[in-house]
Amino acid sequence: MTTIRTIAVGFDGSPDSEVALVWALDLAGPLGARVVAVHARGLLSRLEGWNSREMESIVARLAHEHGVADGDASVRVEEGDACSVLVRCSQAPVNADVLVVGSRGEGKHPGLLLGSTSLELAQRAEVALVIVPGERDAASV
Amino acid sequence: MLIVNELTENAAHEDPGHPERPERVGAVAAGIGSLHLGGDVVNVAPYRATRTELVRVHDGTYLDELGAYCYAGGGDLDEDTYATYDSWAIAQFAAGAGLAVVNEMTHRGEGVGFVAVRPPGHHAQRDRAMGFCLLNNVAVSAAALADRGERVLIVDWDVHHGNGTQSMFWNDPRVLYVSTHQWPLFPGTGVAQEVGGLDAVNRTINIPVPPGSTGDTLVRALDEVAAPVIDEFDPTWVLVSAGYDAHRADPMGDLLLTSGDFARLARRVREVVPAPGRLALFLEGGYNLEALRTSVAATLGTLLDAPFDAAPPSSGGAGEDVATRVREQRRVALELARAARTSGEDA
């Protein structure tokens, strides 16, 4: 049986990624697992004056609200496209047992197959993958 | 003699405010113009790369999907990469420009080729656009040459690792891929331990350098790490993914190269070109227009023995130990890869 110690969740600040983060935190609490919110930095992000502090505060607030200890929720920022960065999370140093993503990231066109992180991850992930429906997806079911 | 595609800015492939913009081609044209080559320039009309030529490195499904997406109006393909209605045709012409330049050089048996097209190509993967790139221009030409029986060396001095090119030739012993790039940096690939697939062990050489590195670090690593492998590979053609975003003025990276460093890199490349008419450079990154202009001039001025103005080469930056570290990491990775190949053969 697989023991879930580390959950890596794709987090780009979009509403769907926040839904995915909350789902991961709710899973982590009872298991005593740690959650790593992974943010992939693309080429343009270095031109946008982006910093990780806002992201860290969101993760810390949500972790607190969902009963996950501060030390068990963290933010990891890596250069690369979202899919490749998340695939790498199943290896050291993150060693994720599960990957969690929202159904749509920021800047994606709904229904567009090209560039769809969740669909590409479904093909490339080396560990279990959970795709959490966003609020619109859930409402439309 | 400079053999260059007809330079067009391709303004129909533009996303306002995006750094990969039409004016980049104008900067290249200005750099070439500053060399006053006169009648020593041959302009080659690009053609639209055919599906047969593209599927050597791209999945047909991806080509269909990209074309359909563009003709539906285009939009963002990912957080970095855009396409417009015209991008599909423009990308096909960009890939075809490389083929046209290579064909012209083959016909003439002389000259230095320069393929100044956009969008760039080296991040484009077999089945997806990425990092401003739609089709992998240098890979399309390399694959065409390899299918003609050539041994192709690709030198990629863009500040970013050419992950698309590496993956396309990962297991192809006909192509040697050598990349110098900043690490860590987008796309996060390109560590020294990536040495090629089991059918192409030692056909990938990655030289990741830390932020703040200067030109001397790159040159020393090329001399100490790549040169012996290149000698052994004995290329019959040399293609360069000539990105200019490793320049210190470029906003996309943190390396400290000057225009003079690109002259130095060009000299190193020239030393491994096997015969006249067997070297073509493909524009990749480079987003500071003045740095792009002066660096292209320094590159081509060096290769064509034309006078040019350039800043002094840089030295004394970070990464003093890069060559030693990369050599050691590669040694271990090569041992593992060769052992894996042997055990596969025994099985």
Whether B246 and B155 have beta carbons less than 8 Å apart is answered as no
Whether A1 and A95 have beta carbons less than 8 Å apart is answered as no
Q: Reduced to 3 states, what is the DSSP secondary structure of residue A117?
A: helix
Q: How far is A133 from chain B (nearest CA, A)?
A: 20
> Residue B33: CB partners within 8 Å, gap ≥ 6?
none
Q: Environment class of residue A110 by beta-carbon count within 10 Å: exposed (0-12), middle (13-18) or buried (19+)?
A: exposed
The one-letter amino acid code at A126 reads E
Q: Reduced to 3 states, what is the DSSP secondary structure of residue B152?
A: strand
- Domain extent for B341: 2-346
Give the nearest partner residue to A43 out of B62, B75, B252, using CB atoms. B252
Residue of A nearest to B61 (CA): A114
CA A49 to chain CA centroid, nearest Å = 22
Give the nearest partner residue to A42 out of B79, B189, B251, using CB atoms. B79
Mean pLDDT (whole number) for A115-137: 82
C-alpha B66/C-alpha B126 separation (Å) is 12
Q: Which residues of B are catalytic?
A: 123
Beta strands B279-283; B175-182: pairing state: unpaired
Q: What is the 3-state secondary structure (H, E, C) of B259-285?
A: HHHHHHHHHHHHHCCCCCCCEEEEECC
Radius of gyration, alpha carbons of chain B: 19
List residues of chain A with CB under 8 Å from any CB of chain B. Answer: 12, 41-47, 78-82, 84-85, 88, 105-109, 112-115, 120
Whether B187 and B232 have beta carbons less than 8 Å apart is answered as no
Where do the domains of chain A lie? 6-139
Residue A110 — pLDDT band, cuts 50, 70, 90? very low
Whether B204 and B177 have beta carbons less than 8 Å apart is answered as yes
pLDDT recorded at residue A109: 45
Is the Cβ pair A81, B75 closer than 8 Å?
no
Is the Cβ pair B77, A115 closer than 8 Å?
yes
Instruction: Write out chain A residues lying below 8 Å of B189, CB-based.
Output: 80, 84
Give the nearest partner residue to A79 out of B69, B130, B186, using CB atoms. B186
Q: Environment class of residue B80 by beta-carbon count within 10 Å: exposed (0-12), middle (13-18) or buried (19+)?
A: buried
Is the Cβ pair A43, B132 closer than 8 Å?
yes
Mean pLDDT (whole number) for A78-91: 91
pLDDT recorded at residue A111: 40
pLDDT recorded at residue A117: 79
CATH code of the domain containing B249: 3.40.800.20
Whether A10 and A102 have beta carbons less than 8 Å apart is answered as yes
Is the Cβ pair A47, B19 closer than 8 Å?
yes
Structural domain count of chain B: 1
Q: How far is B128 from chain A (nearest CA, A)?
A: 7
pLDDT in tens, A30-63: 999 999 999 999 999 888 766 778 889 999 999 9
0.95 surpassed by complex ipTM: no
Q: How far is B212 from chain A (nearest CA, A)?
A: 16
Is the Cβ pair B66, A114 closer than 8 Å?
yes
- Of A86, A69, A110, A98, the closest CA to residue A12 belongs to A86
Q: Reduced to 3 states, what is the DSSP secondary structure of residue B235?
A: coil
CA distances (Å), origin B160, targets B86, B199, B260, B285, B305: 26, 25, 20, 8, 28
- Of B117, B98, B11, the closest CA to residue B47 belongs to B98
Residue of B nearest to A116 (CA): B78
Question: Quick check: A136 pLDDT over 70?
Answer: no
Question: Quick check: A119 pLDDT over 90?
Answer: no
C-alpha A31/C-alpha A10 separation (Å) is 20
Helix (H) or strand (E) holding A58, with range, is helix A53-65
Residue B205, token pair as written in the block:
């050489």
Beta strands B204-209; B237-242: pairing state: unpaired
Instruction: Write out chain A residues lying below 8 Å of B129, CB-based.
Output: 114-115
Its pTM surpasses 0.90? yes
Q: What does the pLDDT profile of chain B (347 residues) look like in tens digits?
A: 999 999 999 999 999 999 999 999 999 999 999 999 999 999 999 999 999 999 999 999 999 999 999 999 999 988 899 999 999 999 999 999 999 999 999 999 999 999 999 999 999 999 999 999 999 999 999 999 999 999 999 999 999 999 999 999 999 999 999 999 999 999 999 999 999 999 999 999 999 999 999 999 999 999 999 999 999 999 999 999 999 999 999 999 999 999 999 999 999 999 999 999 999 999 999 999 999 999 999 999 999 999 999 999 999 999 999 999 999 999 999 999 999 999 877 76
Residue of B nearest to A114 (CA): B77
Fold for the domain defined by A6-139: Rossmann fold (3.40.50)
What DSSP state is assigned to residue A47? Answer: G
Residue A137 — pLDDT band, cuts 50, 70, 90? low
